[in-house]
Each structure stands twice: as C-alpha cells, then as structure tokens.
Amino acid sequence: MASYILVHGGNISAETWNRLTGRQDYPEGTLIGARCWDGTVAALEAHGHRAFAPDLADEHTHTLTDHIGQVCAVIKQAEPDEVILVGHSYGGMVITGAAGRMPGRIRRLVYVDAALPNPGESLFDQFVRSGIDPRSVPGLEPAAAYTEKIRFDPEKIRALPKTYIRCTESGFSRVTSGAKRKVMARKEEWTYIELPTSHVPMATMPERFYRLMLAAAE
C-alpha cells in the first residue's frame, strides 16, 4: 500500500473538462479544482492505496509558498507512510517545493505535464524561458501563486525517485520540451514517459493514466 498526494494545477473549468471527456461530468460555469483527480483517487483506492487530493487555496489571494505549506500539512496527515507526490501542470511547482522541505517523507515524485522549476524561477519565468509570453496564454493570469519564485535546494531532492509524464499533444508542449531536456540531462534520476494526449490525461486517457499512477508505487 502507498499513500498518494495528488496536486492539481490551475483550476480547470467544467467546460474544458467536459469537452475533453465528451461527457457532462460537472455543471458548466464552475471550476473543478481537485475534482480532476476523482477518477484517479477511485482507481488508487480500488487497489488498496490511500489517496489525498487537496483543493489548493485561491491562486489570486494565496502564494506558491501557501500552496507548498498546504501540501506539507497533507504529508503530515499521511504519517507514518512515505508518500508519492503527484503534480499536474502548476502542481509541479508545489510538489517540488514540498519535497524540498520534507524529502525524508517522499517515496517518489511524479510530474504530469508539469512545471519543472529551477531554484529562483516562477511558473511565469518558465513560459518566458520557453519563448512564450505567459500573458498570451488563455486562462493564465499574473496571479500571486504563478509569479512567486520558488526557493528550494535541488540537492535535497536529487536522490528521490522521479517520474516525468509528458503529454505530446498538450498546448504547453513548448514549456514541457524544456522539462524533457532537463530530464534527459539526468536520465539516471528519472523515469520518462510520453503519452499521445492532451494536457489533461486524466480526462482524455484515463485508464492508461491510472495504470501509470499505480506503477509509481511498484
């Protein structure tokens, strides 16, 4: 048995989710937050694992540091287990910061088409580094959480097992191509996987995605 903590990225609209799945899972006009993990949580629990999917506090009034603190509090709830930290999109910033604070509690880090920051970078910085004006990206605003620069010691997480799942049909492929280069430069530290799907594989390729999540505990 493993304990998973699943960290969502920017709040996905119900309209986007329903369009990707071809179903009307959520009422339009709402944001789904951590509910994007509902199917993943069910799949993990069906195999005997524990799964936590916290709703991150509003990114406009809370910072990256606040979100990292939220996840660290959930890690403490998972005691005595080591945890598998999973971050989607912006959630990659959060799991990196949480692992830097509590590396001894982490069994594996899993990045799902996610930000893979260097110390001193914000989410916005990673778009700029990829040649993209972040203000041109629909749904990406200069919110407090997205402009704060992360502080962590990479040596504290270097030895942790890590997985990067890159979605090749993602609208953020220019950003994640930079993450791929970082992973390939340290291949001995990583398991690297590509999925031929959108930025939200838990919506568009759920069964295969769930199998990858289960494999993270092996």
- pLDDT tens by residue, 13-48: 889 888 888 888 889 899 999 999 999 999 999 999
Count CB atoms within 10 A of the CB of residue 104: 8
How far, in Å, CA of 214 to CA of 200, rounded? Answer: 17
Q: Which of 36, 59, 40, 150 is nearest to 98 (CA)?
A: 150
Q: Could you tell me the sign of the dihedral formed by the alpha carbons of 128, 57, 111, 186, in that order?
A: positive
Cα 34 to the center of its chain, rounded Å: 11
Phi, psi of 106 (to 5 degrees): -105, 125
What is the structure's pLDDT at 160? 97
How far, in Å, CA of 54 to CA of 52, rounded? Answer: 6
Count CB atoms within 10 A of the CB of residue 182: 13
Task: Identify whether 89 is a catalytic site residue.
Answer: yes
Transcribe 40-108 into DSSP letters: HHHHHHHTT-EEE-PPPPPTTTS-HHHHHHHHHHHHHHTTTS-EEEEEETTHHHHHHHHHHH-GGGEEE
How far, in Å, CA of 121 to CA of 211, rounded? Answer: 32
Low-confidence ranges of the chain (pLDDT < 70): none
Annotated catalytic residue within 89, 122, 170, 198: 89
Element (H, E) at 165: strand 162-167
